[in-house]
Each structure stands twice: as structure tokens, then as C-alpha cells.
């Protein structure tokens, strides 16, 4: 061979003696030299930005500084249904809080204090297991999560609300939603908050307490015909009085029917029946005799009895009367005022007031004649219709004597 080098294509070949350097080794050596020297004038800071942060392709292994705390602690039982549940975040802000029962039903709540805490919007149900999942982020956007599960107390003493009208019913424009509780309530705000009423179309509906065991709801004026009312009784877990909890969770729906408002004039001894604002009939009546005058005021039909027995002993009149087969009776007050059929007062209707305080319309014993005035009115009336009495010598009926809260001004009702 002459001493000239072989062409570049033969760099990887060995010498005849077999002692040549492999091309792969040469390549590695060149790569090492390039890496050590920074190579080709490239940026010497290519491994990090000028702020010293790690390359975007490298995982951030730092732990979030946010700390999530859940009260009550995981595994707690006999937890109070109000005031015990709270979620907080330190060194960060809450971004997500989910609380559910075993059925997957959520507990409503909201994050407050700029993300520092979360509290439920209402009470929890009794004897129920809940799970909590909460997430918070620190100032760098790193997340920290915490989970917990607890069970609420099982109450030894409970109460329920007995309500009217019934679910699915159609009622008159004067019908309030009335709840009577089986135990006296000493925490009325908590109980009232647990009863939610929605209407279609929307109308402002407010509650008013009569004593400590009855709560009625109504709008300022009579309901508009056709209004649909939905009531949510979310009493399960509400502490109505110390150590006494509600055990009722029920939805009640009813509809307002046509408007029927009838006015009884004690002086003229006539009742004018208006349907949707138009007079449809005028009926002769008899009302309370002197000394037994009928209440004045707005009264709502709360009960309808096709035939009943009326005994003076049940309303404080001793043995003054005991009348069987009284037809077409409709209750107006709890104390015993009825509008009913009368078959025993002869020609009193439209001529003289002869009752013990009730409003009587001519009828047949047992109500066999459906064309009689009392039968006609009964067949065209529903629970919640309004009967107004005027020009009586007695005072106005008390708002809680029956479903008669319309005799209270809106200002007093909402006070």
C-alpha cells in the first residue's frame, strides 16, 4: 500500500493487522467531546430557564402545601344533624366539596371565606351515613384531597307534621298549607326553614306560627286559580326542641281550582255565591239567633260531611240540641261553626236567624233531595272555598279558629 489515506467511506474498516478502531467507538468519543464542550456554540442554559425552574418536561415532585380538614373525623358516629359538619382549608383554597348519603343524594352547601371553608346549606338526616370528598389547591396550583365518612345520630324522641291539604288534591283559593306538629316546637326557625314551598306561577308565600305546634303558609291574597303548589317537608333530622328530632321527608303537591267566594249577609239573611268573580246564585239562609250570633270574617271550608250528627255537648252547649242526619255539612271553624243543610227550622230561611251560630240552608233530612239549596251548594263546593260573613253582632273569628288566617293582616302575618 502507499501511504495515502483511504477515502472517507472506509473509515470504519480495520487495518490488515486487525488493530483498527471501530467507527462506533470513534462516534462515542466525538459525542462525549461535544457534550463536554457545550457543542456548536449552543445556549449554555438550555437545561433550565433563567428563573432556575425545572425543564417543562420534568415532573414536579413537590407536595401541595394546602391542608384539608373535615369535621367530624372519619369513622365518627352519633353525629349531630346540625352544626357538626364543616370542611376547611389552610395554606390553600377549597375548589371542590362533595357530600353524599349512601343513596348518592347530595348535600347542598357552599364554599365561603374566599375558599377557606364549606358548610351545608341545611341540616342532615338522622341515622344516615355520609361520605365527604374535598379538594384544595395551594398557591402553585397543586392539589390536596381528603376524604371522610361518618354517621348521624339515631334520635330517641321524634316528631312529625300532620298537614292539610292532602297530596294530589284540588282546593279552593282560600286554602293555606297548614302543619300541626305532634310535639311543641322550641326551635321554630329551624323547622320553618326545613319546609320549602314552590308555586307555578311564582308567588310569595310566607309562614305564620300559631302557638308552638302549628305553622300555616299562605300568600298575601287568595291564590290565583290554577296555581300549582309543591311543598317539601324536609323535617328528617331537624331538632325541633332539645333532643327531639323530625323523622319526616315528604313532598306534597296540590292545585288551586276555580275561585268560589260566598258572602253571607246576616242582616238580609242571604248568601251570594260568586264563581270566578260572577254571581251564580243567591240563597236564603238562617244564621245565629240573638245570643248565639255567627262569627264575622273570612272562613275557609276545612271539612265536608255528606251526613253527620250535631250534638250541643260537643261545642259547649250542653244538651240544648242533638240533631241526627244533618245533611251537607261543611266545617268553617275548629270550634264548631258549620254551613249545613237544615230540615227542622221551617220558614226561617231568609226570614229569621234561628241557629246556635251555624249557617243553615234549607235541605231534606239525610240530604236526599239534591236540588235543595244546601245540597246544591255542597255539590259545588270544595275544601278551601271561602265563606265570608258580614253584619253580624259578634266579633271577627280568630285567625287560628279553623284555617282562617285571612283575618290577619299581611303585616301581622309576616311579622
Comparison of pLDDT for 32 and 158, the residue scoring more: 158
Of 177, 155, 169, the residue nearest 232 (C-alpha): 177
Q: Are 367 and 341 in contact (CB under 8 A)?
A: yes
CATH classification of 157-256 is 2.60.40.3710, yes or no? yes
Tell me, yes or no, if 36 is annotated catalytic: no
What average pLDDT score do residues 60-85 get? 94
Q: What is the pLDDT at residue 195?
A: 98
Q: Mean pLDDT lowest for which of 50-54, 139-143, 222-226, 378-382?
A: 50-54
Percentage of residues in the chain having pLDDT higher than 70: 85
Rg (CA), the chain: 41
- Choose the weakest-confidence range: 8-12, 153-157, 316-320, 395-399: 8-12
Residue 312 confidence class, pLDDT cut points 50, 70, 90: confident
pLDDT of residue 320: 74
Answer yes or no: is pLDDT of 51 > 90. no
Q: Which of the four pLDDT bands, split at 50, 70 and 90, describes residue 60? A: low
Report the pLDDT averaged over residues 253-266. 98
pLDDT of 40 over the 80 cut:
no
All CATH 2.60.40.3710 domain ranges in the chain, comma separated: 157-256
Query: 232-257: b or e for each residue (b if 16 or more CB lie within 10 Å)?
Result: ebbbbbbbbbeebbbbbeeebebbbb
- Model confidence at 321, in pLDDT bands (50, 70, 90)? confident
- CATH code given to domain 67-151: 2.60.40.3780
- Per-residue pLDDT at 315: 73
Q: What is the pLDDT of residues 269-293, one digit of tens each?
A: 999 999 999 999 999 999 999 999 9
- Give the residue-averaged pLDDT of 19-31: 39
Mean of pLDDT values over 352-369: 96
Give the active site residue among 123, 208, 340, 356. 340
- Report pLDDT for 58: 56
Query: Residues spanned by CATH 2.60.40.3780 within the chain?
Result: 67-151
pLDDT the model gives residue 317: 75
- CA-CA distance, 393 to 388, in Å (whole number)? 14
- Catalytic residue, from 123, 208, 356, 358: name it: 358
- Rounded percentage of the chain residues whose pLDDT exceeds 90: 82
Q: What is the pLDDT of residue 46?
A: 40
Active site (annotated) includes residue 358: yes
Is 119 or 6 the better-scoring residue by pLDDT?
119
Could you tell me if 375 and 341 are in contact, meaning their C-beta atoms sit under 8 angstroms apart? yes
Residue 59 confidence class, pLDDT cut points 50, 70, 90: low
Contacts of 48 (CB under 8 A, 6+ apart): 54, 55
Report the distance separating Cα 217 and Cα 18, nearest Å.
Answer: 107
What are the residue ranges of CATH 2.40.440.10 in the chain?
Answer: 260-409
Examine the pLDDT at 8 and tell me if it is beyond 50.
no
**CA nearest to 125, candidates 147, 93, 158, 98:** 158
Contact 191, 240 (CB under 8 A): yes
pLDDT of residue 130: 98
Under a CB-based contact definition with an 8 Å cutoff, are residues 124 and 237 in contact?
Answer: yes
For the cut 80, the answer to whether the pLDDT of residue 398 exceeds it is yes
Distance of alpha carbon 160 from the chain centroid: 15
pTM of the model: 0.81
Per-residue pLDDT, 97: 98
Looking at 3.30.420.40, 2.40.440.10, 1.50.10.10, 3.40.50.1580, the CATH number of the domain 260-409 comes to 2.40.440.10
pLDDT greater than 50 at residue 11: no
Q: Which residue has the higher pLDDT, 232 or 59?
A: 232
Please give the pLDDT value at position 361.
Answer: 98
Q: What is the pLDDT of residue 305?
A: 97
Q: Is residue 300 predicted with pLDDT exceeding 90?
A: yes
Q: What is the mean pLDDT of the chain?
A: 88
State the pLDDT at residue 313. 76
Q: pLDDT value at position 311?
A: 85
**pLDDT tens digits, one per residue of 187-246:** 999 999 999 999 999 999 999 999 999 999 999 999 999 999 999 999 999 999 999 999
Amino acid at each position: 500500500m502507499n501511504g495515502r489515506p483511504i477515502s472517507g467511506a472506509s473509515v470504519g474498516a480495520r487495518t490488515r493487522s486487525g488493530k483498527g478502531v471501530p467507527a462506533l467507538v470513534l462516534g462515542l468519543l466525538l459525542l462525549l467531546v461535544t457534550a463536554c464542550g457545550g457543542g456548536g456554540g449552543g445556549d449554555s442554559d438550555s437545561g433550565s430557564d433563567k428563573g432556575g425552574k425545572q425543564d417543562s418536561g420534568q415532573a414536579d415532585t413537590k407536595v401541595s402545601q394546602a391542608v384539608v380538614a373535615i369535621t367530624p373525623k372519619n369513622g365518627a358516629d352519633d353525629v349531630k344533624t346540625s352544626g357538626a359538619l364543616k370542611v376547611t382549608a389552610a395554606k390553600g383554597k377549597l375548589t371542590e366539596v362533595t357530600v353524599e348519603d349512601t343513596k348518592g343524594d347530595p348535600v347542598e352547601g357552599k364554599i365561603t371565606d374566599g375558599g377557606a371553608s364549606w358548610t351545608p346549606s341545611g341540616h342532615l338526616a338522622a341515622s344516615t351515613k355520609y361520605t365527604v370528598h374535598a379538594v384544595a389547591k395551594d398557591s402553585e396550583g397543586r392539589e390536596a384531597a381528603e376524604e371522610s365518612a361518618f354517621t348521624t345520630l339515631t334520635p330517641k324522641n321524634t316528631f312529625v307534621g300532620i298537614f292539610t291539604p292532602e297530596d294530589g288534591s284540588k282546593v279552593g283559593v282560600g286554602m293555606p298549607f297548614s302543619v300541626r306538629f305532634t310535639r311543641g316546637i322550641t326551635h321554630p326557625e329551624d323547622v320553618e326553614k326545613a319546609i320549602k314551598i314552590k308555586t307555578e306561577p311564582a308567588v310569595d308565600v310566607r309562614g305564620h306560627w300559631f302557638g308552638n305546634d302549628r305553622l300555616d303558609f299562605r300568600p298575601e291574597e287568595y291564590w290565583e286559580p290554577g296555581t300549582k303548589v309543591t311543598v317539601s317537608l324536609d323535617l328528617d333530622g331537624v331538632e325541633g326542641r332539645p333532643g327531639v328530632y323530625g323523622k319526616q321527608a315528604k313532598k306534597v303537591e296540590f292545585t288551586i281550582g276555580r275561585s268560589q267566594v260566598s258572602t253571607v249577609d246576616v242582616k238580609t239573611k242571604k248568601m251570594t255565591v260568586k264563581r270566578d268573580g260572577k254571581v251564580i246564585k243567591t240563597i236564603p239562609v238562617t244564621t245565629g239567633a240573638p245570643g248565639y250570633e255567627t262569627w264575622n270574617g273570612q272562613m275557609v271550608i276545612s271539612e265536608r260531611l255528606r251526613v253527620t250528627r250535631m250534638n250541643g255537648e260537643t261545642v259547649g252547649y250542653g244538651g240544648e240540641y242533638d240533631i241526627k242526619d244533618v245533611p251537607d255539612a261543611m266545617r268553617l271553624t275548629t270550634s264548631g261553626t258549620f254551613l249545613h243543610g237544615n230540615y227542622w227550622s221551617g220558614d226561617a230561611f231568609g226570614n229569621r236567624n234561628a241557629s246556635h251560630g251555624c249557617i243553615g240552608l234549607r235541605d231534606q233530612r239525610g240530604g236526599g233531595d239534591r236540588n235543595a239549596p244546601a245540597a246544591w251548594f255542597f255539590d259545588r263546593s270544595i275544601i278551601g272555598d271561602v265563606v265570608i260573613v258580614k253584619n253580624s253582632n259578634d266579633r271577627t273569628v280568630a285567625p287560628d279558629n279553623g284555617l282562617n288566617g285571612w283575618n290577619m293582616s299581611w303585616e301581622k302575618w309576616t311579622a
